[in-house]
Structure 1
């Protein structure tokens, strides 16, 4: 699938026709740039209105196009991110069951959705409002999904950190700790290289440590987690003495209800994340198609408006879609310019050359209407 297309229009002279211009363009492309796909971009007879209204509308078209294109790309990138997370990549995105590039190259105006008798300003505003609502909905849905992901990531960071900082509830079992009126079990974080020092010294750090009570529960790349049992009244003193020997005593209180509550919370977050991911992905699929369809209708209006302003009334032009390779761009530009006629070509030189220049949003001025559609 090509990712970049040109939409262009060529004037139809008094002694010519759309079919003859199309034939000459096809012939020139096949001879000079045969690797450039070429398609008709069929635009119906839209309601022209006044030239003043077209001029006013033209000023807003490029800016509005950037907004609609941006929404399209944001939704597409979100789809790619969600698919990457699920590990399932779709072959292509579609619009009403048709691949997006096919929808563009075989564009058909939707008369039921966008009546051609409606003022162009009304059509453009309707598309803009529709896309703005979709973007607002998109932001809400992404924020909801991101919030759940952030909560899960925070929990995972706690679980994946070193023993010095991670949550210990999943490694400490009820049988590992003693909590009574007189005795308590502390959890010591011991550097891996200091384990021998711990085992030889913990019983003598304070007076009331239960002999041979230390047990290693787990270790990671940096630390080992040990238990030690002693009298309650000696716990604070033991913490101080342990810290002096570079042993960290972690605060931890085993509570079965708390543990079960955390597990339920984690299970719920995981379920919510998957449900939101699936819902967001399905919404993005359908909304991308809607945005893309609206975008192509907007582009059709844009071509129509700029062509009327460029070539005059009554509307008489051929609109096409091309996808030239980078190396063929200059050659294709030359072909399009050659089909515009010398007088038109001279009139529409760039401003630096003394002409009127291109229309709003075009980086370069050409004697024909032209702008780029980036699908990605």
Structure 2
């Protein structure tokens, strides 16, 4: 009776853990396919394709000793599952963080003049800052450029006359520099906002261009390295997870069979791989053939 209780308790945990490792295997496969940009690819297991590994499955004594108890084998599998989940979370977080950093730089460099970085656009000789004066940069809608150029000198009391220069433009906006006295800068910004002209918050620093380029290059290299390593890791760990999954399924099959058919052991375990869309017909056929053995198990 004690043995029966142990087997029933083990059956419950095996069912739960079998589902847990199945989820991990699925996550690894989805991640591998996403990184590889190949929606149908499946990594090799033990250097062979997955169906072949499953077809030729044999218990691996080197990984899971048959001398261990069923509980010890189950525990070893779940340790692998927990370790894999933690590693996957860390690697995915690091990769996502770097990818977002690269995308952020690219957005700043590729957006329109309202949002893109002005580093590399504004040249050193186009910027002035002294104790009393400063150059400010205004993004003006293209259709309002003439209006701005004819009125900017009157937007604040101490704007330098004829200081406006159109530095660049895109399909929607023009970037204009204006030099003014610092004491009227806030007044000028308020007047611009009222007229829907946008003053960009920018100060020229000679080192910014090189620093920005170096940071982008560093992040791109880091992202490429992380991508390569992440793909290799998913490929390797997927195989290890499938191997552990199959050993856990073997243990579960043994426990379920003992509970169903009793001792001594007198049963065979088989794996059937149905063709696409044939699973329901296969289940019906198996139920018809073996349903008399008891239980709605198919």
TM-score range for the pair, normalised by the shorter chain length: 0.7 to 0.9
Answer whether contact 2:274 2:282 (CA < 8 A) is retained. Answer: yes
Which of residues 249, 254, 261 in structure 2 aligns to 1:304?
254
Give unpaired runs (5+ residues) of structure 1: 1-48, 349-356, 358-364, 371-376
Matched-pair contact (CA < 8 Å) for 1:182–1:232: yes
1:235 aligns with 2:185: yes
Which residue of 1 is the match for residue 72 of structure 2?
122
> Cα deviation per residue 1:236-261 (whole Å; 9 max; x = unaligned)?
33333333332222221101123433
Partner residue, 2:60: 110
TM-aligned CA deviation for residue 128 of structure 1: 1.0
The match for 2:117 is 167
Check 1:218–1:83 CA distance in 2 against 1; reply closer, same or farther (3 A cut). Answer: farther
Aligned residue pairs total 297
User: Could you tell me the TM-score, scaled by structure 2's length?
Assistant: 0.88
- Equivalent residue for 1:75? 28
Q: C-alpha offsets along residues 119-159 of structure 1, whole Å, 9 cap, x if unaligned? A: 21111111111221122122222222222223333333433
Structure 1 residue runs of 4 or more that deviate by more than 6 Å after TM superposition? none
**1:293 paired to 2:246:** no
Q: Structure 1 residues 347, 103: closer, same or farther in 2, change over 3 A? A: closer
Q: For the Cα contact (< 8 Å) 1:145–1:273, is it kept in 2?
A: yes
Counterpart of 1:217 in 2: which secondary structure? strand
What TM-score comes out, normalization by structure 1 length? 0.71
Deviation at 1:298, TM superposition (A): 0.9
Q: Conserved in 2, the CA contact under 8 Å of 1:124 and 1:298?
A: yes
Q: Cα distance 1:170–1:89, how it changes in 2: closer, same or farther (>3 A)? A: farther
SS in 2 for 1:185: strand
Pair 69,178 (structure 1): closer, same or farther in 2 beyond 3 Å: same
1-structure distance, mates of 2:197, 2:270: 75
The CA distance in 1 between the partners of 2:168 and 2:132, in whole Å, is 26
* Counterpart for residue 32 of structure 1: none
Q: Which runs of no fewer than 5 residues in structure 2 stay unpaired?
A: none
Give the superposition deviation at 1:93. 0.8
The change in CA–CA distance for 1:141 and 1:120 in structure 2 (over 3 A counts) is: same
Closer, same or farther in 2 for the Cα pair 1:90/1:174, shift >3 Å?
A: farther
| Higher RCO, Cα 8 Å, sep 6+ | 1
Counterpart pick for 2:15 among 52, 62, 79: 62
Q: Going by fraction, where is strand more abundant, 1 or 2?
A: 1
- Pick closer, same or farther for the CA change 1:136–1:233 going to 2, 3 Å: closer
Q: Does 1:260 align with 2:260?
A: no
The equivalent of 1:201 in structure 2 is 151
Which deviations, in whole Å up to 9, do the C-alpha atoms of 1:99-121 show, x marking residues without a partner? 12221122122122222232211
Q: 2:273 aligns with which of 291, 309, 323?
A: 323
1:83–1:90 CA contact under 8 A, matched in 2:
no
Root-mean-square deviation (CA, aligned residues, Å) is 2.6
1:223 maps to what in 2?
A: 173
Deviations 1:258-297 (A, max 9, x none): 3433333222222222211211211111111100111011
* 1:1-376 pair list within 5 angstroms: 50-84=3-37, 91-181=41-131, 183-206=133-156, 208-325=158-275, 328-340=278-290, 345-346=291-292, 348=294, 357=295, 365-366=296-297, 370=298
* 1:65 CA displacement: 0.7
Indicate if the aligned counterparts of 1:214 and 1:227 stay in contact, CA closer than 8 A: yes
